[in-house]
Amino acid sequence: MRTNRGAEKQQAEVVVVGTGPGGATSAHILAEHGREVLLLEEGPDLPLESCPPFSVEEMVQKYRAGGLNPALGNAKLTFVEARTVGGGSEINSGLYHRTPAEILERWRDDFKVRESLESDLLPHFEYCEQALGVGTYPGLPPLASRKLEEGAKALGWRACEVPRWFKYDRAPGPDGCADGTRQSMTKTFLPRALQAGARLLPETYAQRLVRSTNGWKISAIRKGKLIEIRARTVFICGGALQTPLLLRRSGITKNVGNSLAMHPTAKVVARFNDQVNHEALGVAVHQVKEFSPRISFGCSVSSRPHLALALSDYPELGRKIGEQWRHMAVYYAMITGPHTGTIRPVFGLRDPLIRYSLSALDLQDLSTALRRLARLLLAAGATTVYPAMPDSRPITAEDELSAIPSELPASRSNLMTIHLFSSCPMGEDAARCATNSMGRVHGTNGLIVNDASLIPTAPGVNPQGTVMALARRNTLHFLGKL
């Protein structure tokens, strides 16, 4: 990298690129152990309360491209990516899972990942759960959520209430809604890092890394101006897309950005005679895990704008949302997609090119998942289920489930995801992994990946519990504390 005269120059012992769950976990542990830490974040520094959750304002303020990010492939698939201090923890529902034991065993066997079985990660899960106040809903969960549990019980399927990182101020009121605050990174680990002496540079985009005599030089853009940062060690925590993008732009390409995985998700709207929806519903806390890890069901954001979007294939009904929305909710069917996506920089553009395709088996599994979800909702008392698919028709009885094709039509599907991972897989198998088991990039010193890109395959659960547990383990290993 050429020296840029006039560029602002900074330095730190450790630079952490990204302030989401991986970066915030890394930074507060490093700072609390006496390391000089500088945090870089591309997005703005906004409080959690800067806008209503799941609102248009939030999408404008805190999402990359307003939440409309496409992956190119054989199916229409969009994904959501945060762009704000605190990362995805600022915009999600706070649902928290530990990584399933069978998934951890698969990573050990297939990727040669060391020290990552259930017993190894237990203290790291427990630490994060205590720090973030992870727990179940106080009192009776909202009715839209309980419909999943009721349908699963009627069919003999396994359902569970998923704990969340929330601090509740009161028990649920008559509408089934409890006042609470999501314990996002700006409420928890980032304040701890700053209190311990870490510095934060928001609106700072890391463009490229170059090895130097005593570590690394980072070329970045801060509010339109060039900045050069020197560090002995760099923790890259930009997420499953931005981390491989930065590495590839820096000439580090081996097993980087070649194996992006997702949880492809299809949605339906269910209408009930009961009033299941209300203004503060948020995201429900129940999920159905009878067919996990391959298939899972849950309840999505069901505000009127989100209902209108999910009903875009039913324009006549969409125009009546104002009359019926309290009786309707959005539900999803999610599969563990393959790790076949690629991430590539595009000359002259900041955002990468994302390619991701689904196999015939994946499309068949999505169809199976949609039929099972519709069956479950009918068993829970839904009068009508509306699959979010072009040329589909409403389903009012089990004998109409065959209207959902045996294989989802790829070119006409409406798929999305909020879970991305696996683009820099960890493990001791250097032939297929980008980093070792502790996140150090193979063939380098002082360069550590510590975010969702490490996760070797789609885990089948919300990934942030996994991300934080791995980030804590890797950071303590770097500090020589494990």
Active-site residue numbers?
419
3-state secondary structure string across the chain = CCCCCCCEEEEEEEEEECCCHHHHHHHHHHHHCCCCEEEECCCCCCCHHHCCCCCHHHHHHHEHHHHCEEEECCCCEEECCECCCCHHHHCCCCECCCCCHHHHHHHHHHHCCCCCCHHHHHHHHHHHHHHHCEECCCCCCCHHHHHHHHHHHHHCCCEEECCEEEEECCCCCCCCCCCEEECCCCCCHHHHHHHCCCEEECCEEEEEEEEECCEEEEEEEECCEEEEEEEEEEEECCHHHHHHHHHHHCCCCCCCCCCEEECCEEEEEEEECCCCCCCCCCCCCEEECCCCCCEEEEECCCCHHHHHHHCCCCHHHHCCHHHHHHHEEEEEEEECCCCCEEEECCCCCCCCEEECCCCHHHHHHHHHHHHHHHHHHHHCCEEEEEECCCCCCCECCHHHHHHCCCCCCHHHCCEEECCEECCCCECCCCCCCCECCCCEECCCCCEEECCHHHCCCCCCCCCHHHHHHHHHHHHHHHCCCC
